[in-house]
Amino acid sequence: TELGRSMEEYIKTGRLAPDAVVIGMIANYVAEHRDAAGNIFDGFPRTTIQAEEFDKILGGHGLGVTLMVDMHVPEEELVRRILLRGKDSGRADDASEDVIRNRIKVYREQTEVVGAYYARQNKYFEVDGVGSMDEVFDRICRVVDAHR
């Protein structure tokens, strides 16, 4: 789709796509999958504006956000993990510690506030993201299962 091609350009250059592009893609997805038993959106919404629009999109289909799971990982561990991922992924934005730290800074400024948005709705749950994949997965499952 045209939205997909637009998104591809942002991904290639390592930039975040504008809210309008992302929200358009999510609106299309929700419309096409409104009968699903549930959905997990990883990395969305990234801004309060996106969260507000997401709530409107879902509400228009008689749906809503059940919960937001925030996997908390200390900054030094995040940097270590992303640098390791960069060795396999080949992504330039995963290979530079300065770029990674800047992405974390942007996250704190623009995305961390989404947690507060959903906390005001009693939908925010923090999960310890340190440990084995199985341990973290189990923690996430416990939160999700408790809110089915």
The continuous run of DSSP H or E covering 116 comes out as helix 112-119
Residue ranges of domains in the chain: 1-64
Cα 83 to Cα 6: distance, rounded to the nearest angstrom? 27
Cα 86 to Cα 82: distance, rounded to the nearest angstrom? 6
Percent of the chain beyond pLDDT 70?
Answer: 97
Mean pLDDT comparison of 3-12, 40-49, 85-94, 114-123, highest-scoring range: 114-123
Contact 14, 93 (CB under 8 A): yes
Burial class (CB in 10 A: 0-12, 13-18, 19+), 109: exposed
Contact 46, 112 (CB under 8 A): no
> What pLDDT shows up at residue 3?
73
Q: pLDDT band for position 114 (50/70/90)?
A: very high
> What pLDDT shows up at residue 14?
60
Cα 57 to Cα 123: distance, rounded to the nearest angstrom? 17
Bigger pLDDT: 107 or 59? 59
Asked whether the predicted pLDDT for residue 11 surpasses 70, the reply is no
pLDDT tens digits for range 119-129: 999 999 999 99
